[in-house]
Structure 1
Amino acid sequence: MDQEMVVMEIICNAGEARSLCYEALKLARQDDFDQAQEKLALGKECLNKAHLMQTQLIEADEGQGKVPMTLVMVHAQDHLMTTILAHELATEIVALHQKSVG
């Protein structure tokens, strides 16, 4: 496993997911809830890819410090976790706005 490639995959997929979350929020403000849900679904797919990469790192490490911790890896993990939160919040905000519009 090329650690640098895995870390970059996490960053790229998390970044794409975050962008899709914000696109979903913009679409919800325009009352385009079908497209907003589509963007959230695409974002979830990107998050799943990033999470799979994270799982590969965890499995390779085996809880024994076999995978060296680098600053870019910490950045990737931070990016992934904040994007997971952004997706959860965007999903709730879109649902709340849709409910308020009726």
Structure 2
Amino acid sequence: MENQEIIMGIIIHGGNGRSCAMRAIAEAKKGQFEEAEKLVEESSEEINKAHRIQTDLIQAEARGDGTEISLLMVHAQDHLMNAMTVRDLSIEIIDLTKKTIHL
């Protein structure tokens, strides 16, 4: 697979993961906690796909098969880290929303 295709995989799966996490928050705000939990799981699955691609790149570099660092690669890494943060925050927001409703 060509380097740009690999990088786009990180961007696509990271973006999908972030979108699912944001949708999960929206569902929790409506009190739809079961749907919110499903979306968090879907977010995690997408982020894990991106993370596996990243891990493959890291392992290749450890073997001496370095990857060219480009602006697109930096963007992909940023996208993945942002997605992971939003997913983690969505879990906390959903939990807080549940507790607020049950007060």
User: Per the shorter chain, which TM-score range?
Assistant: over 0.9
Q: Identity over aligned residues, as a percent?
A: 35
Distance (whole Å) between structure 1 residues aligned to residue 39 and residue 95 of structure 2: 13
Question: Could you list the runs of 5+ residues in structure 2 that have no partner in the other structure?
Answer: none
CA distance in 2, matches of 1:3, 1:60: 12
- RMSD (Å) for aligned C-alpha atoms: 1.3
Question: 1:30-65: per-residue Cα shift (whole Å, max 9, x none)?
Answer: 000000000000000000000000001111111757
The equivalent residue for 1:12 is 12
Q: Tell me, which stretches of 5 or more residues in structure 1 are unaligned?
A: none
2:89 maps to which residue? Answer: 89
TM-score (norm 2): 0.93
Partner of 2:49: 49
Q: Is the partner of 1:36 in helix, strand or coil?
A: helix
Divergent runs of 4+, >3 A: none
**How high is the TM-score relative to the length of structure 1?**
0.94
Amino acid at match of 2:62: E
Asked whether 1:25 is paired with 2:25, we answer yes
Q: How many residues align?
A: 102
